[in-house]
Structure 1
Amino acid sequence: MRKVIHSNFELDLSSKKITDISENPIFSDKFSTKYSYPIEIDLEDDLDIAFGFISFYNSSDPLTLIDVTYVHNDVLSPAVLEVEEIQGKKMQITISWGFEEFPSWNKKLSELPLDKFEVANIYTHAAGIISQTYPAVNYNFPQIHTDKIDTDDEIWFAFEKILNNFKDGAFLENYVDTLEDITYNKNIMQPLPYLLHVLKKGFEDGGYNLEGSFTTHPLVQKICMYTDATYHTTFEQESYTIMQMSEDATISLREIVGTFTIPPTFSWQQPQIITNPTQRVATYTSLTTIIAPGKYRIIGKITLYSLRFLPSSIKIKYRDTIIHSQTIGLFNSRINGIKFEKNIDIVFETLSDLEPNEITIISEQYPTEEKVIFDININPIRLHDMSGEAIPTVLNPNQIDLTRAVPDITFGDFVTTLKNWFNLNLDYDSNNAYLNFTQDDIDLARLKDFNSFEIMEPVRKLQKGNSYVLKFQDVNSKEYSFVPVYHSFDTISNSGYVVNEKTTEIQINGYPLPLAFRNGIQTAHAFEESNDKLQFVIYDGLTSGINIAKDPTQLLLPSVHENFWKKFFNRRINSQPFTWSFLADSFEILGLNIKDKLSCYSNIHLIKTISKTEIEPEIFEVEIETEAEI
């Protein structure tokens, strides 16, 4: 029985001649291992609706990739149905299934259930675990040189360009000198999760317990993951600029109650007596809400123009309290609009409560066409918490949240990168996933007697001309580069090699952070601002009492090739591919696994692909491709 099951439709494929292909992932750079050749089906009306009216030329959002359940040989597999071609009422579809349809495969690492909890104090917490390693702890705090902070920026002048900076037995802390009103931001605390913690959580999220030789390897257990994350919290020391122009004034005509004597201009004139005169008054008002509590300086200049019958004035209030005021009282003046410039320099502290921190500036003066009336800045001196205590502008939160400390990649990309780095093979059963080094799987694979399926003249090829290149993806750096490894029949080289159409290139989306010596510390250097690739650090506890990263040579490609790829490449180059076809009933091939080793043609074969086409009920035409080591 073959069918595709979806919540909105069901396809019976029992009458279709379907070819299923299984690929052995040890011969690929991906884990997707099973798919079908295109299958032609009739696009009935109900199916057309389920696919978002896919037959319509102007359909805006047809469904072409659909998660389904594929039933084949009485096995139910999560799968993806893909529409590849439509002509009239005929549709070509393919079905793929395998580990790339694993439940967590498309989740971002930040969406996995990684460690997340509060701690009493991040500095003392980190100091308590840096002497340990995985599996005793799931993350750690090695020192990391970083170039991403500009120490010319005022808030970072005290930063030494080291994450998790540890001196004299303690992590450096950020603090405020309240006597000098200077903030010292000396450190950024960022946990680095251990690779195996993230890996196991990804499989647990999909319902699998992870086992295998990769999980127990001593080198792998020391690997931490760095990413260019903003793990700290920065409290912006925001300055506020207040500009009031002449056109911002509210003009009113006031009656001034009283009798005013205006002195004469010349000695022979009589004084002028004016009762209840009217006066044109310009009122300027500015309201600024300060977001962060703290200590601030109000500094700048206010221009005042005198009035004849009122004092010109300026008032600055914090909430309802006047913190500064000035007046110009030229009463009984013969003229309006004498210009005065007043410098302002006031220091004040906000209150520690939930009320808004509002600064109001009000000025009454003679109307003018002069452009600038207020030119004021409110500048932070230091910031406070809600209790009124001075706090640094860079805060290392008392929290472990590993979802903020992982690369911005999917779990599937993560596992695939590990596969291509360490030559891994992945398998699983109902409850467990097994991630092994490929060579271990080859050595331990079940040997199946396949002599009865031999034919007289299989197709054989030779591949001594094949070659392989292991390389990290290019990095954006003039300071660092990572050598690749070229492996052919008679050459292993890091440079000067020539690739051709028979060269297989294995690219790895990541690299180990190199060591650099700065500020008296040799540790890992995060030289590239990137959060979309794997950046590994080896750390397994203190070295001479210091939390420094270890030499990453074992993660560089020459060592990786020697330990995890060399034997495999030699086997492939020195092997013969065999291809042949035969007929078999379902019972005969029921137990055939793509990862079995086959004993046939007087040799031991690894299976590359198996193609099965059901030509009659329970009768299959099988094409098999293998590699036999010479």
Structure 2
Amino acid sequence: MGITLFTEKFKLELSKQKVTIQESNSRMNDKVSTKFTFPFTTPMDENFIHSIGDYISLENVGIENVINCYAEVEGKISEAKLNLLDILDTELSGQVDFGFEDVPSFDKKLSEFNYGKFQVPDIYTYAKEICGLRYPDTNFNFPRMYTTKYSPDQEIWDAFDGYYNDLKPDGSEMRRNYIDSDLNIFNVNIIHPCPHLLYLLSQGFADKGYKLEGEILTDPMLQDAWVFSGTQYFNTLSQARYGFIFSSMEFNRLDLENGPDDYAFYEKEIIIKKTGKYTLRGIVEFWKASKMWADYVLVIDNQSVIWRKYDDSRGSILEKIPLDITINITKPDTKLTFRIYTQYHEDSWTHQISDLTLASDSLEDVEGVKEESNVVRNPNEIDLSRAVPDMTFGDLVNTIRSWFNYDIEISGKTVTMNRLDKDPENVKDWSMYQSVKPRRKLQQKRSFLLKFQDLDNDEKMNSMFYDSKGPLLNGKENSDTTTIEINGYPMPVSRAKENGYLTAAVKKDSTNTLALVFYNGLVAGQNNASYKSSCSFPELFGTNWLRWLRQRINGSAYEASFNVDIETFSQFGIKDYVYWHNNIHQFDTWTKDMISETEYKISINTETII
């Protein structure tokens, strides 16, 4: 009944080593924990060096300190990690973490799961159609959400009203980003899919062949809960832009003749890196003095003239000439040059003589183009791996548990998530250990604080403090308080702009927070989100937490240490309820110290259920 670590390459027997195993009950904290051993030592013989590696040689660098393997403990095989801590001569000190099946794929990023990726003909009309569906008819949706992340003071966002998934007022389709005839860019909308919370949970468990069941699938709080990731889902495309802007005082050369026949020469060159169709548009101010000549010319690679204005007549000319010229660039790194030769007047002539912009008709990634000329591209594609928070699946499960007070049980290939506000079931008899006299500690001084993480701009969600005196909204913790912090928040609903929409607002600019937006389909043709007070305090406390925490406040804590037969004790699990000393107990933690191949010395911490 010892511990054996193994892979295809090695087998490490720890049955004769002094190994201590600790487990904690996930019901009693806000984490789904793995089991682990306290550090142990083992000799590194020739077999160890051959199969695992030479950790004795001081010249051997770059060796692994974490080895993925399997652990056989009490006859059960589990995924494990062997953590190599330190080495003294031929003795290695290590620690084993195992029991990762408690949360299948718990350390896998949400973005690494396969949600399926597919193309759509037109995202602006497709998203509108999806808005009319509910889960499970669709696994993702497009609720309207307001954000202050993108400032209208930036040129790229000066047309943005602040809404993700902004439907047209007539509800026909999503508003489209566009470039007008004057080459002005209007980024008015960001299309951002929000996957359904239950879909993410189900897919995470299914990744390792598990099926999610339990009350969580029918919880009315979660039926219309969608996840906003905070990540950038859109792409940006650059419109290559170049300017021919001349001030009269920014000449390249003066040809002075000490009289009225003074000339100024202006020249500007740009290198067009990519081929394609470009539009040159703007104003040229053509100036020719009386009895003098002026020459304005645009030329490609010093060969092909694409526009020219020359005049040597006797009269003076001052006119604004609008240009709108299409230029086909057929080879990379084409040079376009604008030269101006006209009269120079030092005393009176200070103005702009050319204000032209050359812009590409195509949109693409162009090196060196400023962000202000970017166009927000909402791709005709659904890829939910880019629309999930930057967190692991284990983080997601733990956040749901600490938010809505759910437990997780795994039996075979079934994962059951039920709320922790039920009477104990399947209580096991512990009368065999009745002779053990535990230490009992009353829990009356115990307290709990349930709180959300702080939002941006020092905003806070309501928290709930609870002790033997009862619940207190936004109460303060003390030295005996157990704090359960929720890494998420329900998006509040407000009218963020005058004459704007009453819909959800992003309150935390974060990519690793679980932000839930509640949406139940189109209402009056619009995709505005709703708010659920049942998902925040104080209402959430009364429905999901009060009964469970009352049990923990009113019960007693027990501590005991005694020896047990390994084979007998292996029939009990850390999450079992046991009847002991005329009370129903649930385990908090236990430590098992292997003192022989058949015997543990255990140290247990339990709480009674009142």
Tell me by how many angstroms 1:140 deviates. Answer: 1.0
Tell me by how many angstroms 1:456 deviates. Answer: 4.5
Tell me by how many angstroms 1:215 deviates. Answer: 2.3
Give 2:552's match in structure 1, choosing from 560, 572, 580: 572
Q: What amino acid sits opposite 2:480 in the alignment?
A: K
Distance in 2 separating the partners of 1:96 and 1:538: 38
Evaluate the alpha carbon distance shift between residue 323 and residue 614 of structure 1 in structure 2; reply closer, same or farther with a 3 A threshold: same
**Aligned with 1:220: secondary structure?**
coil
Give 1:316's match in structure 2, choosing from 284, 299, 317: 299
Evaluate the alpha carbon distance shift between residue 589 and residue 318 of structure 1 in structure 2; reply closer, same or farther with a 3 A threshold: same
Gaps of at least 5 residues in structure 2 are: 247-251, 253-264, 289-293, 342-351, 365-372
| Aligned counterpart, 1:415 | 397
Deviations along 1:200-227, whole A, 9 cap, x unmatched?
1111223222222222212112111112
**Aligned with 1:26: secondary structure?**
helix
Distance in 1 separating the partners of 2:269 and 2:242: 15
> Is residue 459–residue 579 contact of structure 1 (8 Å, CA) maintained in 2?
yes
Evaluate the alpha carbon distance shift between residue 608 and residue 598 of structure 1 in structure 2; reply closer, same or farther with a 3 A threshold: same
Evaluate the alpha carbon distance shift between residue 507 and residue 58 of structure 1 in structure 2; reply closer, same or farther with a 3 A threshold: farther
Q: What amino acid sits opposite 2:15 in the alignment?
A: S
Q: Write out aligned runs for 1:395-474 (5 A).
A: 395-440=377-422, 443=423, 445-474=425-454
Distance in 1 separating the partners of 2:276 and 2:112: 31
CA RMSD for the aligned pairs?
4.1
Distance in 1 separating the partners of 2:157 and 2:518: 28
Distance in 2 separating the partners of 1:119 and 1:449: 59
Distance in 1 separating the partners of 2:241 and 2:507: 32
| Aligned counterpart, 2:81 | 80
Q: State which drifts further: 620-629 or 523-532.
A: 620-629
| Aligned counterpart, 2:249 | none
Q: Write out aligned runs for 1:143-162 (5 A).
A: 143-162=144-163
Distance in 1 separating the partners of 2:476 and 2:183: 63
Distance in 2 separating the partners of 1:312 and 1:129: 59
Q: Write out aligned runs for 1:178-577 (5 A).
A: 183-241=185-243, 286-289=270-273, 293=277, 295-297=279-281, 314-317=297-300, 322-325=305-308, 346-351=323-328, 358=334, 360-361=336-337, 379=357, 383-384=361-362, 393-440=375-422, 443=423, 445-478=425-458, 480-495=459-474, 497-517=475-495, 518=497, 519-577=499-557
Deviations along 1:73-120, whole A, 9 cap, x unmatched?
232110111233433332221212123785622222111112421112
The percentage of counterpart residues that share the same residue type is 29
Name the TM-score, length of structure 1 as normaliser. Answer: 0.79
> Is residue 276–residue 360 contact of structure 2 (8 Å, CA) maintained in 1?
no
**Aligned with 1:563: secondary structure?**
helix
> Is residue 174–residue 395 contact of structure 1 (8 Å, CA) maintained in 2?
no
Distance in 2 separating the partners of 1:241 and 1:535: 43
Q: Say if 2:16 is the partner of 1:15.
A: yes
Count of aligned pairs between the two proteins: 573
Evaluate the alpha carbon distance shift between residue 419 and residue 43 of structure 1 in structure 2; reply closer, same or farther with a 3 A threshold: same
**Aligned with 2:15: secondary structure?**
coil
**Aligned with 2:395: secondary structure?**
helix
Distance in 2 separating the partners of 1:72 and 1:181: 69
Distance in 1 separating the partners of 2:434 and 2:236: 70
Tell me by how many angstroms 1:194 deviates. Answer: 0.7
Tell me by how many angstroms 1:47 deviates. Answer: 4.0
Distance in 2 separating the partners of 1:293 and 1:423: 60
> Is residue 78–residue 101 contact of structure 1 (8 Å, CA) maintained in 2?
no
Evaluate the alpha carbon distance shift between residue 516 and residue 81 of structure 1 in structure 2; reply closer, same or farther with a 3 A threshold: same
Evaluate the alpha carbon distance shift between residue 512 and residue 66 of structure 1 in structure 2; reply closer, same or farther with a 3 A threshold: same
**Aligned with 1:235: secondary structure?**
strand
Q: State which drifts further: 581-590 or 354-363.
A: 354-363
Distance in 1 separating the partners of 2:104 and 2:51: 23
Q: What amino acid sits opposite 1:484 in the alignment?
A: S
Evaluate the alpha carbon distance shift between residue 283 and residue 549 of structure 1 in structure 2; reply closer, same or farther with a 3 A threshold: closer
**Aligned with 1:452: secondary structure?**
helix
Distance in 2 separating the partners of 1:58 and 1:344: 77
Distance in 2 separating the partners of 1:552 and 1:531: 22
| Aligned counterpart, 2:120 | 119
Q: What amino acid sits opposite 2:533 in the alignment?
A: T
Name the TM-score, length of structure 2 as normaliser. Answer: 0.82
> Is residue 241–residue 359 contact of structure 2 (8 Å, CA) maintained in 1?
no
